[in-house]
Structure formats: structure tokens, C-alpha cells
Amino acid sequence: MQAHLVLIDAMNLIRRIYAAQERPYLLLDELSEKTKKQIIHNTKVNANKALQKIIDQHQPSHILAVFDCKGLCWRYKLFPDYKKGRKKMPQHLADSLTDMQDSFLELNIDSLESEQDEADDLIATLAVKMALNGQNTTIVSTDKGFLPLLGHHVKVYDYFKKRYFDDHYVHDKFNVKTSQLLDFWTLTGDSTNKIPGVAGVGPVTAAELLLHYGSLKNILSATDLKKSVANKLKNTELQIELSQQLLQLKKDIPLGFNLKDIRLQVAEPEPG
């Protein structure tokens, strides 16, 4: 029987649910401790409801909630400005994550967290390993960084908009092929994570270049580029190499567990 692994991008799910619970209180100058506890409680309840809905819809044989490392990941060592300016997680939410992980276990969903890798890298490693073995994976996340993983055995699902991302979405959104996304973002940069691109090269130009030349490697070796584009690309080799390293998801992290360890245990029906 073919396995179906569902990977939950846990902080992507939790922070969006938390934001919805916090929204009614945003006009307050400061949240009281009682209000913070109520928001956390509501977040935990709604996160568990979301997970149950995900199980009911996707019917996984295996499932795992994947969390980011608590410290700074390896990307910050390469580029200290990585994710610079992103809103920091509220401390009371950070302090509640262990409790939320325990509540996930009540649904038979285990959690995975690395010491130095982001959830994205762990998820990519698992999804690629499954695909290489002919097994299916659904990644539950709104993060566009997973789109390059799309393939016959890997799907990406947006729980909040109730839709799958696919090659048609990629083309409509970015006007490139899924296989060209990393090259596209290397040229344009990734503003969400503050990863720089090539100065002066926007999405339209990047898509046109990739349509014509096929890949970033071909663009950089082309001798017939417009002078204006050639000037923008001049002396950018180190920047391009750094951006590609930052954008590329790791796919070879040692995991230390087997697929059977994350099999979803279905509760036996109560005897009549």
C-alpha cells in the first residue's frame, strides 16, 4: 500500500491562527496576562481543530508537525540580514509551543524540531526522501518556498484558502515554470526573507530572461544580452551564489527515525 505523509509547517499554521485570535485585541495598548492566556488557549483549540480537519480531508497514513529550531538557523551565519525586520514571535506564544506540541500528541501527531535547521529544510528532506521511494507527501503551508518541490509525489496545500498549489498556480503567479523558480527568485530576490536579488531586475525582466534562455546559468553565459541587462548582472557572481544558497532547501538532513515511527495511529472504535 502506498504511503501518504502529511507534513504540517507548524509555525506557519500556528502563527496564522494566533493572528486571527489576537486581531480583536490589537487596538489595546498592552495585552493583560489574562487576555494573553485566553488568546493562547483559543489558538491551541483552533490549531487542534485545524489538524483534525487536515487529517479528515487528506487521510494520511503518516503525519508530522515540523517546527523551526529555537535558535538562529544556518542561513543567518551565511547572511546576518536574513529575515531582517520580520515581526518577532510574541514571547507568550513562544512559551506555549511545548504545550501545543503535547496537545498535538492527543491527536497522535508527533512533532519534529532540529537544532540548527528550519522547518522548511526538514520538510524538504522528508518530502524528497518519500518521492525517491515512490511515496506521496502533502505539505500543509502557505509558504511559497515549498513550490520548487512540487512534483508527481509532492503536493502543497494551503489550509486557509482550501486550495492546492500546482504548476498552473506557479505559472499564473510568476510566469515561469516550477523548475525555474529558484533561478527566478535568485534574480528578483525574496523580500519575505530579505534575500537580495540582482539590483534592477524585477519579476517581469526575470521571467522574460528565463523564458528566452531557460536557466540562470544560460543567462549568465549568454553573449547576446541587452547591454542594460548585462550591466545589471555584471560583477554579481558572489551575490547570486549567496542568494541561491539561501533559497535552496536542504534535502539531506539526517533524520534519525523511520517512517513507521510517524504512522498515524487510528483510534479503535468503541465496542457497541
Predicted model pTM? 0.94
pLDDT value of residue 267: 56
pLDDT(198) > 90: yes
Q: What phi and psi values does residue 47 have, to the nearest 5 degrees?
A: -65, -40
Topology of domain 172-247, per CATH?
DNA polymerase; domain 1 (1.10.150)
pLDDT(270) > 60: no
Q: Are 139 and 122 in contact (CB under 8 A)?
A: no
Q: Are 109 and 8 in contact (CB under 8 A)?
A: yes
Helices assigned H by DSSP within 59-190: 74-78, 91-94, 97-105, 119-132, 167-174, 181-188
- Lowest-pLDDT choice from 71-75, 79-83, 90-94, 163-167: 71-75
pLDDT value of residue 201: 94
Tell me how far CA of residue 261 lies from CA of 109, 112, 255, 269, in angstroms. 11, 12, 11, 22
pLDDT(261) > 80: yes
CATH number of 4-26+33-169+250-262: 3.40.50.1010
Q: What phi and psi values does residue 211 have, to the nearest 5 degrees?
A: -65, -40
Q: Which of 6, 251, 222 is nearest to 107 (CA)?
A: 6
- Taking residues 202-211, what's their average pLDDT? 97
Q: Using pLDDT thresholds of 50, 70 and 90, give the confidence band for residue 235.
A: confident
User: Where, residue-wise, is CATH 1.10.150.20 in the chain?
Assistant: 172-247
User: Where, residue-wise, is CATH 3.40.50.1010 in the chain?
Assistant: 4-26+33-169+250-262
Q: What phi and psi values does residue 219 have, to the nearest 5 degrees?
A: -65, -45
Q: Are 143 and 9 in contact (CB under 8 A)?
A: yes
Q: Using pLDDT thresholds of 50, 70 and 90, give the confidence band for residue 153.
A: very high
pLDDT(269) > 90: no
Tell me how far CA of residue 154 lies from CA of 62, 124, 151, 185, 249, in angstroms. 14, 10, 5, 21, 15
